[in-house]
Structure 1
Amino acid sequence: MRIDVVDNHGQFTHLEGRALRDMSIDTETIDNDTPPEEIDADGLVISGGPDIDRTGNCGEYLDLDVPVLGICLGMQVIADELGGSVAGGEYGGYADVTVEIVDDEDPLVGSLAPETRVWASHGDEVKELPDGFALTGRSDVCGIESMSDPDRALYGVQWHPEVAHTEEGEAVFENFRAICENR
């Protein structure tokens, strides 16, 4: 089992790789300009980062037919590339947020139901889901905290499961590992 982390130059990217290594998952952090044909992984985590205009080849990685977990900016890239919309959030910076899980059957976040405490930034956020995606989590500060398209194995969370402030972050990575193993 190998899950690579795509580096979008976010401040927590190194923690995503560490979380996977702590779960005994073979992982490598790769730059977002890595050609898609050079990627040999069973799943990808598209990291957060400061700028949607500096996400390299991330859009092309969605066509690799491997499960993808987008975190913060990574989720926004998925939405933007597949026809959803992304815009500035009303709340802005990092905050401790309670996310209501609206689909307890979702393979990524369903096990966190009915709610979970997370650490999230809302400088930008997904405003409209792309076709084929379902809303799986929302909060008082963001209408789309998580989204899911199990048919294509594409998932996104606005929050950062890799940081200590997120209560059940490891469960998100465990669930993503299960998605990759069952694909």
Structure 2
Amino acid sequence: MTRIVVIDLHGQFTHLERRALRDIGVDTEIVSADTPADELDADGIVLSGGPDMDRVGNAPDYLDLDVPVFGICLGMQLIALERGGAVGGGDYGGYADVDVEIVDDEDPLVGSLAPETRVWASHADEVKELPAGFTHTATSDVCGIEAMSNVEAGLYGVQWHPEVAHTERGEEVFENFVTICESA
């Protein structure tokens, strides 16, 4: 059975990320971001959302493990910063329903979604510049970079929260990540 751990970056929806994975038959648990990288035993890692970069613990070290990593909101921003991208304050601010446009229908994480998909997202902070080697995979009127992927490195991220009921086809995003992990 595929095992994916959810790294707790202190977000309010972390438990829902675990539940979404459990509901699709994945062996999963929430793990503290203070866990040393060499103690993680998983086929994939989800970096949860969270309030700020000051509480990410050892999460940057997890990007160098030989397993796929899926960053959600703060998790995506962490990936971008650690790989040389830029993160800054969003013009829109807090949580809202947003229509995202999938701009890369070949992307293994979000490419299967409808060309326009309604999601629940926070834009207090957002990725402003992609790191080298990453592909821009989704956009919106509110945020230029709603999703990104580096398939070769096994690093993926979305600005929105696929684990909440307000997001259309959120379960599909988790199913796609499981497929990525099983193929790695």
TM-score by structure 1 length? Answer: 0.99
Is residue 80 from structure 1 mapped to residue 118 from structure 2 by the alignment? Answer: no
Amino acid at match of 2:172: A
Identify the residue that residue 170 of structure 2 maps to in structure 1.
169
Identify the residue that residue 151 of structure 2 maps to in structure 1.
150
Identify the residue that residue 26 of structure 1 maps to in structure 2.
27
> Is contact 1:102-1:113 (8 Å) kept?
no
Q: Give 5+ residue unaligned stretches, structure 2.
A: none
**Cα deviation digits, residues 2-46 of structure 1 (max 9, x gap):** 000000000000000000110110001001110000001000000
Identify the residue that residue 59 of structure 1 maps to in structure 2.
60
Identify the residue that residue 131 of structure 2 maps to in structure 1.
130
> Is contact 1:71-1:157 (8 Å) kept?
yes
Q: Give 5+ residue unaligned stretches, structure 1.
A: none
**Cα deviation digits, residues 65-99 of structure 1 (max 9, x gap):** 10000000000000001100000000000000000
Identify the residue that residue 9 of structure 2 maps to in structure 1.
8
Is residue 69 from structure 1 mapped to residue 70 from structure 2 by the alignment? Answer: yes
Identify the residue that residue 92 of structure 1 maps to in structure 2.
93
1:66 & 1:174 partners in 2: Cα distance?
16
Task: Report SS of the residue matched to 1:28.
Answer: strand
Q: How many correspondences in the alignment? A: 183
Amino acid at match of 2:65: L
TM-score by structure 2 length? Answer: 0.99
2:179 & 2:22 partners in 1: Cα distance?
15
Amino acid at match of 2:67: V
1:151 & 1:22 partners in 2: Cα distance?
28
RMSD (CA atoms): 0.5
2:131 & 2:32 partners in 1: Cα distance?
25
